[in-house]
């Protein structure tokens, strides 16, 4: 096997893991995608590789930024403090180990709900703000995942062009 084929397979694996990392935020999804595209571009040393790196990186990083901005704007609009998000993140880590598969989401929600209940002293209001935060995080994930898929599609097209015109 040539280095180009090995790099293409490795990049494909990194892109799949990166896309999964966007959905299950244990891995740095968009960063893995950019790293995979960089590995491929450095290995193939062709116009296709550099074009895929440029376009794919812009897409992946745009998705990551859009996710942060969309989620942050929603949370700021509802005046949910960073402290509550810290408790939500801690809950997500605990949930990851306590409940397989869905524990990260359950832990995030429980941590956020407990923090918001302590802050607002009202369970109904805390449930409402926790639900809004969960929807905001979900919207961010959907946008980032769409951009990750677009970056992966750019790679597939670039790889096809590279290998079919070689």
User: What length does the chain have?
Assistant: 166
Does an H or E element contain 26, and which?
A: none
3-state secondary structure of 46: coil
Q: Measured between alpha carbons, how far is residue 15 from residues 19, 22, 79, 150 in Å?
A: 6, 11, 35, 11
Tell me the two tokens of residue 112: 């956020």
- Provide the whole-model pTM: 0.82
CA geometry: angle at 146 spanning 12 and 61, to 5°?
Answer: 75
> Which of the two residues, 147 and 78, has the higher pLDDT score?
147
pLDDT in tens, 93-129: 898 888 877 788 888 889 989 998 998 888 898 888 8
In the chain, domain spans: 1-165
């Amino acid at each position: 096997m040539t280095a180009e084929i090995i790099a293409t397979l490795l990049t494909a694996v990194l892109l799949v893991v990166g896309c999964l990392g966007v959905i299950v935020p244990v891995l740095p999804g968009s960063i893995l995608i950019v790293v995979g595209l960089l590995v491929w571009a450095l290995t193939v040393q062709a116009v296709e590789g550099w074009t895929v790196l440029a376009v794919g990186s812009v897409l992946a990083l745009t998705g990551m930024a859009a996710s942060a901005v969309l989620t942050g704007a929603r949370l700021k609009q509802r005046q949910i403090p960073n402290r509550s998000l810290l408790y939500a993140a801690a809950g997500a880590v605990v949930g990851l180990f306590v409940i397989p598969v869905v524990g990260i989401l359950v832990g995030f929600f429980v941590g956020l709900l407990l923090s918001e209940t302590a802050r607002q002293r009202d369970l109904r209001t805390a449930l409402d703000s926790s639900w809004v935060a969960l929807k905001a995080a979900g919207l961010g994930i959907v946008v980032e995942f769409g951009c990750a898929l677009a970056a992966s599609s750019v790679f597939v097209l670039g790889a096809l062009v590279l290998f079919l015109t070689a």
